[in-house]
A and B are shown apart, each in its own frame.
Chain A
Amino acid sequence: MKRSAEVVIIGGGISGCAIAYHLAAKGVKDVVVIEKAYLTSGATGRCGAGVRQQWGTPMNCDLAKRSVDFFEHATEILQYDGDIQFKQEGYLVVASSKEEDALFKENAALQNKYGIPTQHLSKEDALKIVPYLNIDEVTSANFCPTDGHLNPFTTTDAFYHAAKRLGVTFYTYTTVLDIEIKHQRIEAVVTDKGTITTRTVVNAAGGWAQAIGKMVGVDIPVYSENHEILVTEPVERMLSPMVISFSKNIYCQQTPHGPFIMGRSDPNMPKGLSMHSTWGFLEAMAKTATSLLPPLKNIRVLRQWGGLYNMSPDHQPILSGVDTLPGFYIACGFSGHGFMLAPMTGILISEMILNETPTVPLEPLSMERFKHPHMIVKEKSVV
């Protein structure tokens, strides 16, 4: 193991890999990524593989739009030989009440301001996009044609290979045990395979971000929560966009090689790091999915699993330095959407570390915002 590094990134999910790539691309030598299992073993590899720009807060819209701009050229930028499977066939967000309909009109207007081509559709027009949508359950819908699907494994692999070519060192199956501090400065990262001296640490540990914060006495206002998901057998193409509903608590899409992948959240799920599967999820998910999309009833479920949402108080990411500990950077609290925002995570954290002018204003993403309640705008468009 290396004895020292300019930057140590904790977490080998898409965020950590994207940060590593952007730092290396800007010429930072000696970047190290430490991952306790394999790359994507946390939330990245367990997510629903969706890329959405239809958000309810200006910041999330801005980050999501800019991330999609990156994904559209990711294969060329990262010079990847594999296939990241970016399929832009849209997200159909269905409304089921007058309240949702009104909110969706507002959301579409906000999204349009950021260059996101969302349209507010009547239920008849929604049916043209998904002909077997159960029309009794839908009042209207929002559709953004440039949202879509992206393969979490190969997309992370693309960042990984590009970063590696630029000299980044990856240590998988390596656990961070402690971070040493002296005179309010970071000294070293201690792992089970050795100690790396460094002045700069990025906490991109996803579900474990709060635990990493505690190692340096920084209390990050996030918690982790198990969200369940399932995948079916592969079948012929029958659904183009991701279909989601906030009130019905479902997201569901058919991935490019054929299986359906779908998830929902459980309001009674205890906070914590457990990623267990439950029978209750399976039954509730099956009921919601077959009721909204009836032809799905004949498709077999193959597998279910869980993964951690790292929730922030306003459901927007925390991309931030820490006043009391220079050299410690945080990229967490994505509240279930870290995968799709990763390009901007990489860009913004690298700009912070290198003291560059930020691409977007950083105040709404900082830890400080939680000290000023008037600065907080809560994102409601979360499944």
Chain B
Amino acid sequence: MDPKKVMICRCSDVTLADLYALFDAGYSHFEELKRIKRVGMGPCQANTCGKMVQWEIAKRFNRPLEEVTIHTARPLTTGVTLGALAEGEDDET
């Protein structure tokens, strides 16, 4: 399959070819890839791309999968509007 046509991160439009280019440039950790190409920074919060990036890092650098760390899970678990957060206490009846 053409790596240019394999989508890794849908939120930030990052393809497998983009990942390979970053590996070639010397970036080998998820946190580095994330900061250069925004992998995992979109609305899915890396829930889609995280595992795929982990697998590609492990393959490329011959590291055991379990040793390849991915993103830090951060709140919120799902998107909530600023309006709902601001007015939350009004509903606590």
Contact = CB atoms under 8 A, between A and B. Distances in A.
A295 B9 CA distance: 29
Interface in B41-76: 42-43, 45, 74-76
Contacts of A82: 36
Given A303-B74, A304-B74, A38 B81 contact: no
A37 B31 contact: yes
Interface stretch (A87-95, A282-290, A313-321): A282-290
A300 B74 CA distance: 15
A157 B31 CA distance: 13
Interface residues of A, number: 34
Contact of B82 (A154, A173, A296): A296
Nearest to A151: B35
Majority secondary structure, A binding face = mixed
Contacts of B88: 283
B24 to A, nearest CB: 13
Contact of A304 (B32, B35, B76, B83): B76
A45 interface: yes
B1 interface: no
Contacts, number: 76
A162 B39 CA distance: 24
A41 interface: yes
Identify the interface centre among B45, B80, B83, B88: most chain A CB within 10 Å of its CB.
B83
Given A38-B29, A38-B31, A153-B36, A286 B75 contact: no
Given A283-B85, A286-B85, A304-B75, A153 B80 contact: no
Interface of B: 29, 31-32, 35-36, 38, 42-43, 45, 74-76, 79-83, 85-86, 88-89
Given A38-B29, A38-B35, 10 more contacts: A37-B31, A153-B36, A173-B29, A232-B82, A257-B38, A285-B85, A290-B83, A297-B83, A300-B80, A301-B81
8 contacts: A38-B32, A39-B32, A277-B75, A289-B86, A290-B83, A297-B83, A303-B74, A303-B75
